[in-house]
């Protein structure tokens, strides 16, 4: 076994960096997976002076990044060019990775067809990390996953591939990514970073690393509580969104303005956080992450009922929105079949270009099956297809508004002129509670 002494858990951050023998150390930081999570982390790490290499299996992504073209909204081409100027390198070639001091894994964790977690990318990235491990390396998993993954899946693969022992020869930790794409108030530096290590020395090693990049590091008591913290945050959001979505449906029937009720309730300075209804939930986190937790709970032989109920309610919302469109057209004696519908805002998130899991996709499927003619306008999506069939894009907001029998505001991007939408739309359904004239969800 290589010569390596694990420092006691009380050691100061500076002492956690272990002495490594050899001349070619490789980068300070290797990020595996250069997507929405990995690339912004690389940008922050370069900004604080770390030597960063990014590894991604997608050669197109690597070629684009190497040529100065960013595919991620939170890192623009200018940011990327400064990163490249400061030594950042993206590669798809494992042989170029050297001997990194820290390895952070930021690869996707999608769901399988049976809603179980697909850890294929995590295991492949872990195998890559195992081949690069040396005594003293810190490995951190950032991908969202079920509690237990770091210890039960990542640890054995790293140990088998490197013949080193986690917590004795190298450090292993989980640190949930909390990135909120498009958020101008909170970025990687200003969002507190939770870290949970396999041992206290592992936690300290991870805290020392993230302390260079983030203003505040929060030490979890264990790896699994760091993993659970992320799922708690997202499940909390999922369940609360479902609560207001269910309320939106019956408030409409009761003739109660839920948006106004939320506005009033939100004035309570303690014990209440405002959540808002909408056409459903989207993105990689909210619709997907709670499934990881359900999956783990099911191994105990019973369901996680809150999550399953929230999923059922949120998944119904696109269909409910389409029913409301039909109801509005019906008031003017028009059928949904053949009606020209303009969808405004089709990304899953405000001011973001991310179309993954957008509820607008289900809205399109339901409108198509009912014979509506579709048009969309979204300043963040130059083209858009659902099930391989392109949805027509209006050349401008104005022309789209003029052409449509009904306008559905699915995402209230700040670029939209809400007044113009209110004035020009023949019939308007607002699913985001931003218009004062027109029908709200």
List of residues contacting ligand NAD (CB under 6 A): 32-38, 55-58, 61, 106-109, 121, 124-125, 128, 142-144, 177, 179, 181, 284-285
Residue closer to ligand NAD (CB basis): 33 or 287:
33
Residue closer to ligand NAD (CB basis): 55 or 209:
55
Residue closer to ligand NAD (CB basis): 7 or 35:
35
Residue closer to ligand NAD (CB basis): 356 or 413:
356
Catalytic residue selected from 106, 214, 251, 285: 285
Tokens 């290499």 locate to: 53
Contacts of range 320-323, beta carbons closer than 8 Å, 24 or more positions apart: 320/249, 321/279, 321/280, 321/363, 321/408, 321/410, 321/429, 321/431, 321/441, 322/363, 322/366, 322/367, 322/370
**Closest CB 142 distance from ligand NAD, rounded Å:** 6
- Nearest alpha carbon to residue 17 among 7, 3, 27: 7
Tell me which residue has its CB nearest to ligand NAD.
35
**Closest CB 270 distance from ligand NAD, rounded Å:** 28
- Nearest alpha carbon to residue 212 among 46, 7, 37: 46
Burial environment of residue 126 by CB neighbours within 10 A (0 to 12, 13 to 18, 19 or more): buried
The answer to whether 413 touches 352, Cβ cutoff 8 Å, is no
The answer to whether 170 touches 138, Cβ cutoff 8 Å, is yes
Residue closer to ligand NAD (CB basis): 181 or 280:
181
Largest CA distance in the chain: 81
Residue closer to ligand NAD (CB basis): 68 or 335:
68
HSE value, Cβ hemisphere, 13 Å, CA-based, for 216: 7
Neighbours of 85 (CB within 10 A): 10
**Closest CB 278 distance from ligand NAD, rounded Å:** 17
Residue 285 a catalytic site member: yes
**Closest CB 87 distance from ligand NAD, rounded Å:** 20
**Closest CB 341 distance from ligand NAD, rounded Å:** 29
**Closest CB 59 distance from ligand NAD, rounded Å:** 9
CA angle 345, 239, 298 (to 5 degrees): 120
Question: Would you please indicate which residues are annotated as catalytic (active-site) residues?
Answer: 285
């Amino acid at each position: 076994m290589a010569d390596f002494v694990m420092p006691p858990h009380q050691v100061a951050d500076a002492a956690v960096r272990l002495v490594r023998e050899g001349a070619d150390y490789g980068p300070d930081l290797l990020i595996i997976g250069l997507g929405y999570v990995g690339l912004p982390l690389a940008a922050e790490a370069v900004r604080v002076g770390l030597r960063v290499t990014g590894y991604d299996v997608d050669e197109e992504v690597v070629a684009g990044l190497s040529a100065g073209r960013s595919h991620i909204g939170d890192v623009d081409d200018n940011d990327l060019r400064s990163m490249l100027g400061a030594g950042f390198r993206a590669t798809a070639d494992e042989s170029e990775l050297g001997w990194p001091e820290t390895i952070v894994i930021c690869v996707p964790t999608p769901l399988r067809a049976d809603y179980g977690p697909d850890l294929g990318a995590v295991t492949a990235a872990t195998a890559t990390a195992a081949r690069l491990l040396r005594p003293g390396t810190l490995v951190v998993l950032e991908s969202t996953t079920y509690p237990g993954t770091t210890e039960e899946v990542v640890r054995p693969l790293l140990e088998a591939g490197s013949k080193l022992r986690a917590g004795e020869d190298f450090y292993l930790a989980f640190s949930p990514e909390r990135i909120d794409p498009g958020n101008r108030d909170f970025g990687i530096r200003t969002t507190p970073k939770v870290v949970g290590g396999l041992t206290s020395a592992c936690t300290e090693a991870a805290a020392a690393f993230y302390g260079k990049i983030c203003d505040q590091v929060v030490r979890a008591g264990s790896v699994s509580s760091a993993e659970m913290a992320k799922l708690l945050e997202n499940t909390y959001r999922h369940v609360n969104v479902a609560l207001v979505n269910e309320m939106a449906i019956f408030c409409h029937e009761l003739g109660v303005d839920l948006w106004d009720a939320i506005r009033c309730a939100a004035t309570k300075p303690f014990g209440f956080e405002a959540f808002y209804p909408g056409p459903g939930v989207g993105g990689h986190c909210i619709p997907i992450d709670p499934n990881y937790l359900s999956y783990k709970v099911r191994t105990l032989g019973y369901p996680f009922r809150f999550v399953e109920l929230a999923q059922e309610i949120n998944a119904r919302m696109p269909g409910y929105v389409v029913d409301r469109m039909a109801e509005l057209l019906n008031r003017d004696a028009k059928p949904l079949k053949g009606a020209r519908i303009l969808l405004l805002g089709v990304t899953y998130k405000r001011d973001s270009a991310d179309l993954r899991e957008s509820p607008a996709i289900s809205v399109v499927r339901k409108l198509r099956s009912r014979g509506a003619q579709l048009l969309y306008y979204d300043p963040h999506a130059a083209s858009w297809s659902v099930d391989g069939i392109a949805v027509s894009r209006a050349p401008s907001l104005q022309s789209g508004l003029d052409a449509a029998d009904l306008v559905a505001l699915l995402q209230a991007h700040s670029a939209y002129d809400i007044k113009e939408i209110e004035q020009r739309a023949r019939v308007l359904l607002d699913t985001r509670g931003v218009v004062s004239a027109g029908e709200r969800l």
